[in-house]
Structure 1
Amino acid sequence: MEALQFDLSKSNEVRLQSEYFRNLPSCDFMEFAILFINMKKRGKFFSMYKNLLDHFYKYQQFINRRFRTNQIGKEDIDDFVRYLHIDKGLKLSTIKSMITKLKYLIEKAYLNGWAVDDSYSDAKVVENDSTFVYLTEKEIARIYYYKGLTPWEEEIRDTFIVGCMTGQRYSDYSRLSADNIKGDNIHILQQKTKNKAVVPLTDYVREVFAKYGGKMPRARCIQYFDKAIKKVCKKVGLDDLVVYEEERAGEIVLVKKHKYEMISSHTARRTFVTNMNKNNVPSEKTRKCTGHKSTACFDRYDKMTLEDNARSLAGNGYLI
């Protein structure tokens, strides 16, 4: 039977859906949300969503930024959650309800033809702050010098190490380039807040840039990165058990997880803050590096354990 012949060089007018969605336009999120809830104007629905938008509008004023539909991703929602919980003092149950509504509006923007940041769906309201972890300086070195990673795992590892050494959000540390390096410092215009930050250039970061020809490894979407860094840390052997209490259905239960399961892109930022504090760097100096506006929010990033704190007090002259 004669083989079927066809021309592989032509696809006529057919395009992959991903190409179409990448080219969607964006719009001002608040303008879309206001238009949408006004179209659905009815009692309880309107009042609940108006309450969310009131808080989101004030949050935009607080950070001096207006979000477009494609600029509200997981990191941005996480920061909004911290603002509501720490700066505004809202209950986590209230915040959970708000974030559900925020995600609903983002989804509606997408369904109405506006571009969105896909990572928004991965944002969660974490109820127990003790579920966050950080890496010690020894653990950072252990990850950095580990032999046995594949080339793509090395890229994930090296990107994460840069995050641990700069204290920035993933959206900032993953896009650093040689242009950000000036002398012995890294100069960053933070994507989210448009604040300028200057961070010392460490040997780790110098070596990463040299390894990749004066630039960072390829940037990945945050969802992919969060899964990949867990696999890397598991391979390295960061499998200590972390035990914490969590409320479930009104009851306090004991939860056990391996440390690598709790590591994500944002662990790098917490690691930077915590290790600065452990090395007695004044918090106001660290905040100038990280860009935190709120002291309360900054303090939540410090993941020093009670044992760490006790060790730091043990040699202070009084507790000898």
Structure 2
Amino acid sequence: MSMSILFYIKKPRNYSTGPVPVYLRITVAGQRAEISTSRACEPIQWNPSAGRATGSNKTSTTLNQYLNTLQAKVQETHRLLLEAGRSTTAGAIKDKFLGKQEKVWMLVERLEEHNHRIKALLDSEYSQATLKSYTTSLVHVKAFIRWKFGKGDLDLSKVDLAFVSDYDFYLRSQCKCSTNSTAKYIKQLKKVIRACLAHGYMEQDPFLHYKAKHKQVERVFLTEEELERIAAKTFVTERLGQVRDIFLFSCFTGLAYTDVKKLRQSDITSGIDGELWVCKNRQKTGTPSRIPLLPSALAILGKYGDHPQCLHKGQLLPILSNQKMNAYLKEIADVTGITKPVTFHTARHTFATTVTLLNGVPMESVSKMLGHTSLKTTQHYAKVLDVKVSQDMGKLREKFTTVAKY
């Protein structure tokens, strides 16, 4: 941005006679900043067009030389700010010229402030898992700054494309993060950087020319035969049977662990068809999920209606911690001969594939029940359904076989 400099005199209020103060005005993109020169001049000896004193006497010559020096210093200040890639607004030039300390925004401070806000909004807007993920992300950024710069924090003005690229490399090489884990931590950093840009803490977007790498992960789901095998299994311990039932409930509703844990009687309402539906907002995204309850899911809810944990905590199902649920599910998979890595989230994938898409439920309906914010997310499930592809192509093959007879 171009800068203009103007010297002018300003008569004080109730001025009568005598010298008046000379001011310097900096203008950048229509914005002005004024600086007192600590000098004065008789109005009759001032040339407004030239912005200098008239005459060749010693007083005028000395003043003009001083003003020339000030102008050269302001121009040098502007040049230095440009070279440093810093803000060159009229106010920034003025502050730099006067030696005022510009507020320095630090990266780790901004990340810590972001995480503090998440912690303050736990349960209402964010989950413990989200806080844990951003806490880990902060640990990685701190370690990277120490590894790369030997410091505990870094000026935001130093966060550029090279920083982001080096951080990406650090996560992969030093932390041994997978492609998708690296992408997740970079995305979390990007969220905070975008907020800093919006608040004016930074001038340039370091992610402007950065392209994240992402590896598509195949989602594990159970087949209909595997579901039946788990449902029919008689377990020695009551606890395994309880974990199996809650897992199957998620298979028939698509609810994630945290949503099952927070499920209350008020979330069960009468749907447009007069049947019972689960109507609640997803904990992860806040988007609404409207899920008609299948008979199997209703039977499981009825089974645990008078369970002590449910009565005490107001829950509909006596769910354990996510870690314990996953540990028991691994045991259940072992005893039922399922070799796939089964976790509680496998139930959500199973609902999206085996229970709904493979049974002809339109993708738009599945997406709405899952509470996805984008149909693209749901389409990922369709990509892994070789069985569905086989069924569809079988119909097509039959059609063209008939045509071929003619």
1:2-41 Cα offsets, whole Å, 9 max, x none, are xxxxxxxxxxxxxxxxxxxxxxxxxxxxxxxxxxx92758
Q: Counterpart in 1 of 2:399?
A: 318
Mapping for residues 190-201 of structure 1, pairs under 5 Å: 190-201=282-293
Q: Counterpart in 1 of 2:169?
A: none
Q: Distance in 2 between matches of 1:311 and 1:143?
A: 25
Q: Distance in 1 between matches of 2:234 and 2:352?
A: 27
Are 2:320 and 1:234 equivalent residues in the alignment? Answer: no
The 3-state SS of whatever aligns with 2:332 is: helix
The 3-state SS of whatever aligns with 1:318 is: helix
Question: What are structure 1's unaligned runs of at least 5 residues?
Answer: 1-36, 58-64, 78-90, 104-124, 239-257
Matched residues, number: 208
Mapping for residues 261-276 of structure 1, pairs under 5 Å: 262-275=341-354, 276=356
Q: Distance in 2 between matches of 1:303 and 1:229?
A: 26
For residue 248 of structure 2, the aligned residue among 161, 164, 171 is 161
Code of the residue aligned with 2:225 in structure 1: it is K
Task: Give, in angstroms, the shift of residue 182 of structure 1.
Answer: 2.0
For residue 257 of structure 2, the aligned residue among 163, 170, 184 is 170
Are 2:368 and 1:296 equivalent residues in the alignment? Answer: no
Task: Give, in angstroms, the shift of residue 311 of structure 1.
Answer: 2.9
Q: Counterpart in 1 of 2:106?
A: 38
Q: Which structure is larger by alpha-carbon Rg, 1 or 2?
A: 2
Code of the residue aligned with 1:38 in structure 2: it is M
1:234-278 Cα offsets, whole Å, 9 max, x none, are 11222xxxxxxxxxxxxxxxxxxx22xx11111111111112111
Q: Distance in 2 between matches of 1:136 and 1:281?
A: 16
The 3-state SS of whatever aligns with 2:220 is: coil
Task: Give, in angstroms, the shift of residue 159 of structure 1.
Answer: 1.0
The 3-state SS of whatever aligns with 1:129 is: coil
Code of the residue aligned with 2:279 in structure 1: it is H
Q: Distance in 1 between matches of 2:256 and 2:373?
A: 14
1:86-142 Cα offsets, whole Å, 9 max, x none, are xxxxx9637526538969xxxxxxxxxxxxxxxxxxxxx995623x32112232222
The 3-state SS of whatever aligns with 2:373 is: coil
Q: Distance in 1 between matches of 2:214 and 2:328?
A: 21
Mapping for residues 91-240 of structure 1, pairs under 5 Å: 93=179, 95-96=181-182, 98-99=184-185, 127=215, 129-130=217-218, 132-183=219-270, 184=275, 185-213=277-305, 216-238=316-338
Code of the residue aligned with 1:142 in structure 2: it is R
Task: Give, in angstroms, the shift of residue 163 of structure 1.
Answer: 0.8
Q: Distance in 2 between matches of 1:129 and 1:236?
A: 25
Task: Give, in angstroms, the shift of residue 212 of structure 1.
Answer: 0.9
Q: Counterpart in 1 of 2:49?
A: none
Identity %: 23
The 3-state SS of whatever aligns with 1:164 is: helix
Q: Distance in 1 between matches of 2:127 and 2:279?
A: 25
Mapping for residues 49-68 of structure 1, pairs under 5 Å: 67=126
**Structure 2 CA distance for partners of 1:69 and 1:168, relative to 1, 3 Å:** closer
What is the root-mean-square deviation in Å for CA atoms of aligned residues?
A: 3.7
Which 10-residue stretch deviates more, 306-315 or 150-159?
A: 306-315
Task: Give, in angstroms, the shift of residue 219 of structure 1.
Answer: 2.1
**Structure 2 CA distance for partners of 1:296 and 1:267, relative to 1, 3 Å:** same
Larger relative contact order (CA 8 Å, sep ≥ 6): 1
Query: Residue 164 of structure 1 contacts residue 272 of structure 1 at CA under 8 Å; is this kept in 2?
Result: yes
**Structure 2 CA distance for partners of 1:296 and 1:196, relative to 1, 3 Å:** closer
Question: What are structure 2's unaligned runs of at least 5 residues?
Answer: 1-104, 118-123, 137-171, 173-177, 190-212, 311-315, 402-406
TM-score, length-scaled by structure 2: 0.44
**Structure 2 CA distance for partners of 1:171 and 1:40, relative to 1, 3 Å:** closer
Query: Residue 162 of structure 1 contacts residue 205 of structure 1 at CA under 8 Å; is this kept in 2?
Result: yes
Q: Distance in 2 between matches of 1:274 and 1:189?
A: 21
Q: Distance in 2 between matches of 1:220 and 1:145?
A: 22
